[in-house]
Amino acid sequence: MDKSAILFLDDGQVFRGFSFGAEGETTGEVCFNTGMTGYQEILTDPSYCKQIVTMTSPHIGNTGVNGDDIESSRIQVAGFVIKEEMEIPSNWRSTQSIGNYLREQNIVGIRGVDTRALTRKIRNQGAMNGIISTVDSDLKSLKNKLANTPSMHGLDLAMKVTTKKPYSRSRENRGKYNVAVIDYGVKTNILRLLESHGCNLKVFPANTSSKEILAFNPDGVFLSNGPGDPAAVTYSIDMVCKIIGEKPVFGICLGHQILSLALGAKTFKLKFGHRGINHPVKNLETGSVEITSQNHGFSVDLDHLPNNIIPTHLNLNDNTLEGIRCTDIPAFSVQYHPESSPGPHDSRYLFQHFLHLMNA
């Protein structure tokens, strides 16, 4: 028999459905992703730490789960909200269903929810905290539990998902470039693409000092994606302040925000964030429009950029900043995900630009 479940939002609204995945309770910021594919990459993306993800696509689980399409070693989302679960996957690579995958890793989800109504609510009122429960249906009790869930404002989550110690990764050390990767929650496909472009990688924890990075003497420094409020990652902002100008720097997502803050820019929290694989971004230097994969809840303020920062990319949905480059030092970054996992390949040229900076 289907076990009932409840999603209770911070403003008191209730969405009822059925248990999906593990039984229990979970809290986090409720957000939505507009991608029609790539649910496995979404589940395992560390940038979703402490977030309950709602999928706008109504059917989730069609292709099951496999051992290749993962972005980290485990599921990272706090909870999962869907309209309809496909219990019998159809794909030659599938090893299990998505429901079994969630149960195996003790992730609480809810299905049977009107995800269209939930998405419209978040778009209109903004992202808010919520609690999914399969064991408690008392609204007063759920409200009290939710009250202890911290806001994403001021929350440093990079240290929750970063590697505990440095490690190396390369294709038999045959790469031309040695790159220091600062891990704020790096996705596996980013590492794969850096390797495929001839980079030997050494991955460092988020709180690594500039002294340790420079002692490695890399040809370039890569600042990865990650969760949480970028302004709270003060230790890494200080580190980046000390290495910019010393080595070429390339940042993605949280790395973009941290680089911008180190250069003197400001960040702010978006109303409901950008999450999906279909976001149009205009390259201001070429005039071309790229369809991009995105996952972020904060943005760099376009109206408060230092004089040495040039905006290079703009989101065509809301005109927020999506990319920068420096005029006086070799550093650039983008807010979106050019590694395209999941998502289109329109922006992979950015990895070539990083190589160009290291060559120069």
Active-site annotation, residues: 253, 337, 339
33-37: long-range contacts, CB 8 A cutoff, minimum separation 24: 33/275, 33/276, 33/295, 34/275, 34/276, 34/277, 34/278, 35/275, 35/276, 35/277, 35/278, 35/293, 35/342, 35/343, 36/277, 37/277, 37/342
User: What is the spatial distance between Cα 358 and Cα 275, in angstroms, rounded to a whole number?
Assistant: 31
User: What is the spatial distance between Cα 2 and Cα 121, in angstroms, rounded to a whole number?
Assistant: 26
94 within 8 A of 63, measured Cβ to Cβ? yes
DSSP string, 98-153: HHHHHHHTT-EEEES--HHHHHHHHHHH--EEEEEESS---HHHHHHHHTTSPPST
User: What is the spatial distance between Cα 5 and Cα 273, in angstroms, rounded to a whole number?
Assistant: 26
Neighbours of 144 (CB within 10 A): 10
Using alpha carbons, list the distances in angstroms from residue 124 to 53, 61, 118, 227, 272.
17, 28, 10, 23, 9
The backbone torsions φ and ψ at residue 298, rounded to the nearest 5 degrees and listed phi first, read -120, 160
Cis peptide leading into residue 342 (ω within 30°) = yes
